[in-house]
Amino acid sequence: MDVSVLWLNNAVFVTQAMAGNNRLGGQDFNERIYRLLLKKIKEQTKKDLNNREDLQQLRLAVEEAKLQLTNLPETLINLNFRSIGKFEYLLTRQEFEQVNKDLFSSIVEPIKAALADCQLGPEDIDEIVLVGGSTRIPKIRNIVGQFFSKVPNYGVFPELAVVIGVAIQAGVVINGWPLQGYQQNIALYYKLLNEHYDTFKTMQDVDSYVQGMNELCSIHRKIMAYKRDDLPSEDSLNDWQFSTSLGNPEHLPYLLEGDMVLSAEQIQLLVADFRSQLSKIEYCQANNCNERKKRILTSDLNRRWKKFPIPFIIQPDVNRQAILEGIENWERTTCITFEEKNELASDSSGLNFVFGEGCFSNVGMVKGRSQRIGIGKNCDNPFVVSHEIAHALGFFHEQSRWDRDDYVEIQFNNILPGFLNQFLKFSSSLTTTFGIKYDLGSVMHYDAFGYAKEGMATILTKDVNYQETIGQRFRLSFDDVKKMNFAYCNASCPFQLPCLHSGYTDPKNCSKCRCPDGLTGLLCSKVARTKTLCGDQLIFKSEEEYRKLQFKGVGECNYLIKASRGLRICLSMDAIHFKDHCQQNSFVEIHYQTSLGRTGAL
């Protein structure tokens, strides 16, 4: 930890004194927790952890735990080591502070030394600025605040400060400002050039991206102004708070819709498409005609993968288990295959799973080089991994479909300023749905609070029963898998079966249908019996009929309820009790739409 006492006046600063302790860095705190966990691992497993990859995984987990404890009183460390298997430990902030007690007790010594050198006391300091990793630790902030009897300022973004400092220094060296025209977006430029160097190689690449995003936002606003009268005030890319986390790793503010990395070519394609949409609307407004809807996977076939298995590598600092499970979700349900490699060829396509800021992926296959899929902090849910892989396979987000307004309503006034262009609606010429209805339960759908002001919902479902369904990340929906199979696996079977209830010919077994959850049989005509041996097909023939469905214990039950022609079914939920609430395996799902393949209300 380093301490500097600065005197500032009229943009001039003078360093009055400096002091430090090189044993008070972030890694020193990490080392104490690292040794603690090695001890706990041996106590739990009776084994020493010696594998190099496992030790590196543990060090990364320690850093992540330290960051989590910045805002949380405790954090669960959940690891799956290659050499000894699973390990779980609940680390509390209190334990973290106890293990590092002696380090915390020495925090004020370099502060006192620096003040003594310039003959000042704590009361003489006007402002305390904390910058750097270890100063994010709550205990350090408390100690420093108590010493000076005032709240420290810890709102400085250090990476941005470094970028600005380097730019200013370069300007001094060459007698000019090297980033003319980029000052407004310097934080964004740093993020894109640093995090996505494989897509954005130069300032010009980033500038083209920014201009394209701004134009998309402008055209989108004009399109929506014809259809909605509740749009917020002028909204532009420059209003974005690029250095501020939105709290959701799938909602990175500088990427389209939060996690999609688009090339300059793709941005230009989107801009051209939105210009076309606007021209059609303006023409129809002037000539009193109706917009014609032609027909959510990218329709640019050149972006789809054509060679399988798809090669991939996993960087050591990524949650390996989550990646493998995310891949397995698609391999188990489709004909698509993947193959892990030691390294990827520099001139061919492949997937490189990296630990980056948030979650991100290119859309579709990148030709002639590998493409990175970012699985960063809080992204290591296997179904978040599957979501990002789906982008790489060509999927856009579900709420970008041209027909979304029939199913959801975007609450534009609840969107944070600068983020209107994160709710684009693509035309049918850019996407194809294979005739599959909009899926509110898709793993590719935004949740209700994406880019929201003060916790206000930005997406409301037209059917209120589905409000809690959107944004789920605990399974691939039946229609997610169906669309992927239609895109990549239709050639797997020489014939198609006459499947019922939205089923389709199973590309992994052409002799039977792939059925929606709860159904089975050759053509999906039967109720699937589970290990619990509950569930049935119920047929109501008169208005007076009443049946009570009841189950106690742990299990899964499927019921197919039908009514005679002219009758409607009324379902009343008298009582539902689960041991664990809000868990992915504790729910009631009701399919009551015309397509039983669509996710039911949860």
- The CATH number linked to 222 is 3.40.390.10
pTM: 0.69
Task: Count Cα neighbours of 439 within 13 Å in the Cβ-side half-sphere.
Answer: 27
Q: What is the CATH number of the domain that holds 14?
A: 3.90.640.10
The 3-state DSSP class for residue 325 equals helix
Q: Is 494 exposed, middle or buried (0-12, 13-18, 19+ CB in 10 A)?
A: exposed
Nearest to 137 by CA among 99, 187, 95, 96: 96
pLDDT at residue 238, as a whole number: 46
- CA 392 – CA 370 distance, rounded (Å): 11
Range from 110-119, 388-397, 423-432 carrying the lowest mean pLDDT: 423-432
Residue-level length of the chain = 602
Query: Does 251 appear as a known binding residue?
Result: no
Nearest to 326 by CA among 272, 380, 366, 281: 380
Range from 65-69, 344-348, 405-409, 543-547 carrying the lowest mean pLDDT: 543-547
Does 105 reside within a domain? yes
Specify the amino acid at residue 4.
S
pLDDT of residue 20 exceeding 80, the answer is yes
409 neighbors 466 (Cβ within 8 angstroms): no
pLDDT at residue 178, as a whole number: 42
- Buried/exposed 96-109: b ≥16 CB within 10 Å, e otherwise: bbebbeebbeebbe
User: Helical H runs in 289-353?
Assistant: 320-333
Check if 343 is active-site. Answer: no
Does 271 reside within a domain? yes
Residue 127, number of CB atoms within 10 A of its CB = 11
Does 233 reside within a domain? yes
260/142 same-domain check: no
- CA 268 – CA 300 distance, rounded (Å): 13
Does 222 reside within a domain? yes
388/327 same-domain check: yes
369/503 same-domain check: no
512/474 same-domain check: no
Range from 253-262, 299-308, 409-418, 426-435 carrying the lowest mean pLDDT: 299-308
Max mean pLDDT range (448-457, 506-515, 551-560): 506-515
557 neighbors 532 (Cβ within 8 angstroms): yes
Does 404 reside within a domain? yes
Does 514 reside within a domain? yes
Residue 308, number of CB atoms within 10 A of its CB = 12
- Could you tell me how far CA 409 lies from the centroid of its own chain? 22
- ω into 309 cis (within 30 of 0): yes
Range from 187-201, 242-256, 298-312, 572-586 carrying the lowest mean pLDDT: 572-586
**Percent of the chain residues topping a pLDDT of 70:** 85
483/502 same-domain check: no
Tens of pLDDT along 93-131? Answer: 999 999 999 888 888 999 999 999 988 999 999 989 888
433/515 same-domain check: no
**Percent of the chain residues topping a pLDDT of 90:** 39
Measured between alpha carbons, how far is residue 377 from residues 16, 22, 77, 355 in Å? 39, 28, 13, 8
State the average pLDDT over residues 385-407: 95
- CA 380 – CA 401 distance, rounded (Å): 27
pLDDT at residue 177, as a whole number: 43
Q: Which is more confidently placed, 17 or 177?
A: 17
Query: Does 391 appear as a known binding residue?
Result: yes
pLDDT of residue 160 exceeding 80, the answer is no
471/511 same-domain check: no
Nearest to 246 by CA among 490, 415, 373: 415
pLDDT at residue 141, as a whole number: 87
Domain of residue 338, residue span = 186-488
13 neighbors 62 (Cβ within 8 angstroms): no
Handedness of CA 259, 264, 266, 267 (dihedral sign): positive
Q: Name the active-site residue from 265, 388, 398, 409.
A: 388
- CA 250 – CA 391 distance, rounded (Å): 12
Tens of pLDDT along 220-229? Answer: 888 888 777 7
Residue 361, number of CB atoms within 10 A of its CB = 25
Measured between alpha carbons, how far is residue 475 from residues 192, 366, 444, 584 in Å? 31, 27, 11, 9
Query: Which residues, at least 6 apart from 429, have a Cβ–Cβ distance to it below 8 Å?
Result: 273, 276, 294, 299
Number of structural domains, the chain?
3
pLDDT at residue 319, as a whole number: 93
Radius of gyration of the chain (CA): 28
319/438 same-domain check: yes
The 3-state DSSP class for residue 91 equals strand
215/289 same-domain check: yes
State the average pLDDT over residues 26-39: 90
Does 517 reside within a domain? yes
Does 154 reside within a domain? no
pLDDT at residue 439, as a whole number: 95
Q: Which is more confidently placed, 168 or 254?
A: 254
- CA 94 – CA 90 distance, rounded (Å): 11
pLDDT at residue 481, as a whole number: 98
Q: Tell me which residue has tokens 């499927």.
A: 558
pLDDT band for position 162 (cuts 50, 70, 90)? low
220/299 same-domain check: yes
470/511 same-domain check: no
State the average pLDDT over residues 445-469: 92
pLDDT of residue 61 exceeding 80, the answer is yes
pLDDT at residue 293, as a whole number: 47
pLDDT of residue 470 exceeding 90, the answer is yes
Tens of pLDDT along 494-543? Answer: 999 999 999 999 999 999 999 999 999 999 999 988 877 777 776 766 66
Q: Choose one of 148, 163, 196: the last residue of a domain.
A: 148
- Could you tell me how far CA 270 lies from the centroid of its own chain? 22
Q: Choose one of 488, 514, 533: the last residue of a domain.
A: 488
pLDDT at residue 430, as a whole number: 78
143/196 same-domain check: no
User: Helical H runs in 292-437?
Assistant: 320-333, 382-392
